[in-house]
A and B are shown apart, each in its own frame.
Chain A
Amino acid sequence: MKQAITLLIAGSAISLAGAAFAGAAAAPAHAFVFEGPTMDTATATRAPLWRVSGDDDEGEDGEGWFFSKSAGGESDEEGGDDNCDDDDDEDGGCTAGAAGNAAPAGTVAPPRNGLFTNGTAPQVKTN
């Protein structure tokens, strides 16, 4: 009787181990199925559409101000000197004396381009 019980237990253990092994082996089989072309197509169809650029204006009849590329390929935001983009033109923080900016009216004589009479500065008024 003891022998019968031992055999029964041993047989059960072997069967359970086999079943567990089979279950473990099933997962890679499924993964392989997922890589098939049919599932790829299904995945592609369900993939969300991502909007790469939110700038509708770009490339139409004029480029945007900050998002356009210059002729040299550099955008305004890449210049590294845009720390004063938020300021006003009149505040002087970045405008007055900043390297490369044009001299404001009244600080130097107008250019001698033949359009103005010499020495007369334009008068400007904004309402």
Chain B
Amino acid sequence: MKPLHAALALTTAIIAPGLAAARPVTLTTNLAPYGGRGAYLAFYVTDASGAYAGSLWMAGGKSKYYRHLSDWARLTGGDVAQVDGITGASVGSGQSLDLTMDLADALFDAGYTLHIDAAAEDMRESPNEIAVPLTTTGAGQPVQGRRYIADFSYAF
């Protein structure tokens, strides 16, 4: 019996951290038909105290425009390294953006908030257009944006 317990404990020890560490999360952002050129969007997370925790995605390739994502720029100092490797094209009016990423489980139900800043050429800036607490119960519930984003939701 002892060998069976030992084997079970060993396999649990190997598998459990993997399960606890991350889960695939899909972030779905539907843009409103605002009629302008492609919108820049900064996805980032703050912790329970409101401090910047990290960036998840940057839609828009020209870093000289990142300062128009003003909350993100204020929190990061406009540090391009924050979005190296997680940057893609800007998103057009009326389009949708689906991002699937393995996020740490520790981000959920721990006071973290996902924010989206938005801006578009020749149009107004929209800092903190989306601010949604990351919780397991909040998954699948759309949150409306103010200017460029029709709605945003995340799902496991």
Q: Write the residues of chain A forming the contact surface with B, with a CB cutoff of 8 angstroms.
A: 57, 60-66, 68, 70-71, 76, 79, 81, 85, 88-90, 94-96, 98, 100-111, 113-117, 120-127
**A70 touching B85 in the complex, CB below 8 Å, given contacts A114-B54, A114-B104, A126-B97:** no
Contacts of B120 in A (CB 8 A): 65
Alpha-carbon gap, A92 to B95, bound state (A): 21
| Subset of 9 A-B contacts with CB under 8 Å | A62-B125, A65-B68, A90-B61, A102-B61, A104-B61, A111-B55, A111-B83, A117-B102, A123-B100
Q: Would B64 and A116 count as touching, CB distance under 8 A?
A: no
Q: Would B91 and A126 count as touching, CB distance under 8 A?
A: yes
**A124 touching B97 in the complex, CB below 8 Å, given contacts A61-B124, A62-B126, A65-B120:** yes
Alpha-carbon gap, A3 to B122, bound state (A): 89
Alpha-carbon gap, A87 to B89, bound state (A): 12
**A115 touching B104 in the complex, CB below 8 Å, given contacts A90-B89, A102-B83:** yes
Alpha-carbon gap, A120 to B107, bound state (A): 16
Alpha-carbon gap, A70 to B71, bound state (A): 13
User: Which of B81, B84, B123 makes the CB contact (< 8 A) with A65?
Assistant: B123
Alpha-carbon gap, A107 to B86, bound state (A): 9
Contacts of B53 in A (CB 8 A): 113-115
Number of interface residues of B (CB under 8 A): 50
What residue of chain A has the Cβ atom nearest to residue B58's Cβ? A102
Alpha-carbon gap, A126 to B99, bound state (A): 9
Q: Is the interface of A mostly helix, strand, loop or mixed?
A: loop
What residue of chain A has the Cβ atom nearest to residue B81's Cβ? A111
Alpha-carbon gap, A22 to B94, bound state (A): 78
Q: Would B84 and A116 count as touching, CB distance under 8 A?
A: no
Give B109 Cβ to nearest chain A Cβ, in Å: 15
Contacts of B103 in A (CB 8 A): 115-117
Alpha-carbon gap, A81 to B62, bound state (A): 11
Q: Would B104 and A103 count as touching, CB distance under 8 A?
A: no
Give B123 Cβ to nearest chain A Cβ, in Å: 6
Contacts of B83 in A (CB 8 A): 102, 111
Q: Would A79 and B64 count as touching, CB distance under 8 A?
A: yes
Q: Would B124 and A57 count as touching, CB distance under 8 A?
A: yes
Contacts of A64 in B (CB 8 A): 122-124
Give A122 Cβ to nearest chain B Cβ, in Å: 4
Alpha-carbon gap, A79 to B62, bound state (A): 13
